[in-house]
Every structure is written in structure tokens, then in C-alpha cells.
Chain A
């Protein structure tokens, strides 16, 4: 089975939330800034727990923060 390409809206959501910095988001969800950088560059898919924590910060449903391109391809 091929790897799922999970896309991230984190960068966009940060800007929409008063241009929150990576460091501020990192502190709110309890990770290092490096991890936020990797998530934004889509180099790392966070654990489900971290994904929910990020969604909580933006007060958005999970699928607005992380989503799949071309879902049909994987069906």
C-alpha cells in the first residue's frame, strides 16, 4: 500500500489566527518549533494526539487542519 500524502493547512491557519508564530503554536501544543516546521512542510505527519491538539488551538475540525488530496485515489 502506498503512503498517504497528508496535506496540512497549519501555516494558513496560523496566519488566520493573528499571524501566530511557529514558536507560539509550538508552545501551545507542547512540541518544539522544529516539529511545527516539519509539519508545515509536510515532512512529518503528527501523531493523532498532536493533530487534535493543533486542531483545538485553531478551534477547527481535524479535517480542516489536515486533509488528503485526491481521496479517491486511495479508495
Chain B
């Protein structure tokens, strides 16, 4: 049986991907001309990133609350209200991996500019490395809770 921490990470993994998926779908359906170059390119992509941040935070808060309620009802157990030494250790290792991935993405995005790729390519690489770094962080946590530290 999965523990609270494992379930929380599975939920977090799916919600990250679903929120990101829906957000991208919305953006590209509303602005199909996004990948054409224009004077607005930088402004457009910067807003895509800046708006994604509060949207995903708000969505995650709601998902966490709903998850905690379902967890309490189905297991009759209250979710832990604190993080202990094992949680902190796992969190640290996960955020380290997540940073590695993001930095790699950042380097790739700079590389895309050096290679004269269009600016939107840089933004897309940045956004995806943001997503990927989060996914890697969550998967690291899941792995460490399962396998041990």
C-alpha cells in the first residue's frame, strides 16, 4: 500500500502534467500564431510563463485540498501536518535533481539562441525544462520513498 507521501507525489505528478497540458492547449488554441515571429514575441512568451506560475500554484492548492479530504475519508487517517527528517532529506535530493534538469534546459535554451534558432524556441525550451525539472523532482521523491535513502 502506498503511504501518504507516495500518494501525494503521484497526485502531484499527474496534476503537474494535466495543468501544464491544459494550459498549453488553451494558449495554442487561443493564439495559434504564437510560433510566428513578431515584435510581440518576447512579450507574448514572457506572459505565457508569468501567467502559468500563479495558475499552476492556484490549481495545485485546490488539488492538494481535495486530495487531503479524499485521503482523510478513504483512510480515516489525518495527513501529516509537518515534514520530518526523512521528508526533508528526500526533498533536498529531489530539488537538487530538479535543479540539474532546469540548468541543463537553461543551457540548451541559450544554445538555441547561439544557433540562431527563433526566440520562441528558447522560450519553449525554457518552459519545457521547467516542466521536466518538476517531473524529475517528483519522480526522485517517489523513487526515494520507495527504495529508501
- The total number of A-B Cβ pairs within 8 Å is 44
Could you tell me which residues of chain B, from 77 to 128, have a CB within 8 Å of some CB in chain A? Answer: 77, 80, 82-87
Q: Which residues of B contact A50 (CB under 8 A)?
A: 85
What number of B residues sit within 8 Å (CB to CB) of A? 15
- The answer to whether A33 has its CB under 8 Å from any CB of chain B is yes
Q: Which residues of B contact A31 (CB under 8 A)?
A: 84-86
Q: Is A33 a contact partner of B85 (Cβ separation < 8 A)?
A: no
Q: Which residues of A contact B77 (CB under 8 A)?
A: 23
Given contact pairs A32-B5, A34-B4, A34-B5, A43 touches B147 in the complex (Cβ within 8 A): yes
Q: Is A32 a contact partner of B148 (Cβ separation < 8 A)?
A: no
- The answer to whether A28 has its CB under 8 Å from any CB of chain B is no
Q: Is the interface of A mostly helix, strand, loop or mixed?
A: loop
What number of A residues sit within 8 Å (CB to CB) of B? 16
Residue of B nearest to A31 (CB): B84
- The answer to whether A70 has its CB under 8 Å from any CB of chain B is no
Nearest Cβ distance between residue A70 and chain B, in whole angstroms? 20
Docked Cα-Cα span, A33 to B81, in Å, equals 12
| Binary interface encoding of chain A residues 30-41 relative to chain B, with 1 for a CB under 8 A from any of its CBs, else 0 | 111111011001
Residue of A nearest to B80 (CB): A32
Task: Known A-B contacts: A23-B77, A35-B85. Give 20 more (CB < 8 A).
Answer: A31-B84, A31-B85, A32-B4, A32-B80, A32-B82, A32-B83, A32-B84, A32-B87, A33-B4, A33-B80, A34-B3, A34-B86, A34-B145, A38-B86, A38-B149, A43-B147, A43-B148, A44-B86, A46-B85, A50-B85
Contact residues of A with B, CB < 8 Å?
Answer: 23, 30-35, 37-38, 41-44, 46-47, 50
List 18 A-B residue pairs with CB atoms under 8 Å apart, sorted by A's residue number: A23-B77, A31-B84, A31-B85, A32-B80, A32-B82, A32-B83, A32-B87, A33-B3, A33-B4, A34-B4, A34-B87, A35-B85, A38-B148, A41-B148, A43-B147, A43-B148, A44-B148, A47-B85
